[in-house]
Amino acid sequence: MSVFEFLDASYLKAQLDRLSNLNLSLAELRDAIRGPDARTLTDIYDKLSSIGGTVNVGNLPSWFTGSTRTTDDIYGKLDALDNALASVGTDKLRASLVDPLPAGDSWIGRVKIGDGSSTVAVLSADIGGSSYSGLAVAPDLTAVFAAGAAYTEQEVSVSTTESTSSFSPPLKIVRLCNEGDVDVTIRLNGSSTTKALAAKACKTIALWKVESVSYSTASGSSTLRIEGYW
């Protein structure tokens, strides 16, 4: 019995036809794999061994931190930072910056707080109301502005007949000192509301503009010193 008795002739022919389509010699296939530098598997193995001896993946974190840290350490720190940033949202920022400001409508420079009412309106209203919007600590305007060109000071007599001093351009800061022994009634910018300035007392009023100061006494007379900066 020959081996050909176990092989189908048509099958052998088909296989031989497929080999005939391989237009590449084994030597050419080898050279194609080895590339132009004719690398061998040994070359590749040696190169990988060389890289493996140089790069220690376990040292990577220390390259970044300068100390022995694991990637889990770094991840943990980043995670904590992410959580911290998430807690500082816009609402928290608003609470930090805006909530400490006085309630109501006001302006801080060109920043509007409230519904846009101007500072002069707010303070003028307050002067006639229950609260007096003078500065808690009155600056010494004489020392601050007396040497400047934009400072004025005038003493006026105050009697039971109301008189008015006016300024153009308006004063931005006014300091009123009642130098007499009776209270002086003050009105600003023609407002119908009044405020008493006690005897021997001073008040500094920081408004956007003071165009006029009206003054009178209920009885007797006094002297009012008006200082201002325009």
State yes or no: residue 191 binds another protein (CB under 8 A). Answer: no
Nearer to another protein, 141 or 167 (CB): 167
**212 binds another protein per the rule CB under 8 A:** yes
Stretch that binds another protein, among 60-68, 123-131, 157-165, 172-180 (CB under 8 A): 157-165
Judge residue 154's burial from the number of C-beta atoms within 10 Å of its C-beta, 0-12 exposed, 13-18 middle, 19 or more buried. exposed
Touching another protein, residues 3-42 (CB under 8 A): none
How many residues at the interface with another protein, by CB under 8 A? 17
Residue 167 binds another protein, judged by CB under 8 A? yes
Q: Examine residue 149 and tell whether it contacts another protein (CB under 8 A).
A: yes
Sign of CA dihedral 69, 72, 78, 84: negative
Binding span for another protein by CB under 8 A among 3-11, 24-32, 102-110, 166-174: 166-174
102 vs 114: CA distance, rounded Å: 10
For another protein, the binding residue among 49, 70, 71, 154 (CB under 8 A) is: 154
Shortest approach of another protein to residue 149 CB, angstroms? 7
Q: Within 63-122, which residues bind another protein (CB under 8 A)?
A: none
Nearest to 155 by CA among 146, 145, 147, 165: 165
Structure-token match 């909530």, residue found? 99
**CB-nearer residue toward another protein: 104 or 220:** 220
* Measured distance CA(119)–CA(173) in Å, rounded: 13
Considering only 191, 211, 223, 225, the residue that binds another protein (CB under 8 A) is 211
Residue type, 169: P
Which has the closest alpha carbon to 72: 80, 86, 87?
80
Q: How far apart are CA 197 and CA 217, in angstroms?
A: 10
By CB under 8 A, the residues from 169 to 188 that bind another protein are 169
Q: Are the C-beta atoms of residues 193 and 187 closer than 8 Å to each other?
A: yes
8 Å CB contact between 186 and 215: yes
Between 49 and 157, name the residue whose CB sits nearer to another protein: 157
Question: Does 150 participate in binding another protein (rule CB under 8 A)?
Answer: yes
For binding to another protein (CB under 8 A), which residues are involved? 149-150, 152, 154, 156-157, 163-169, 211-212, 226, 230
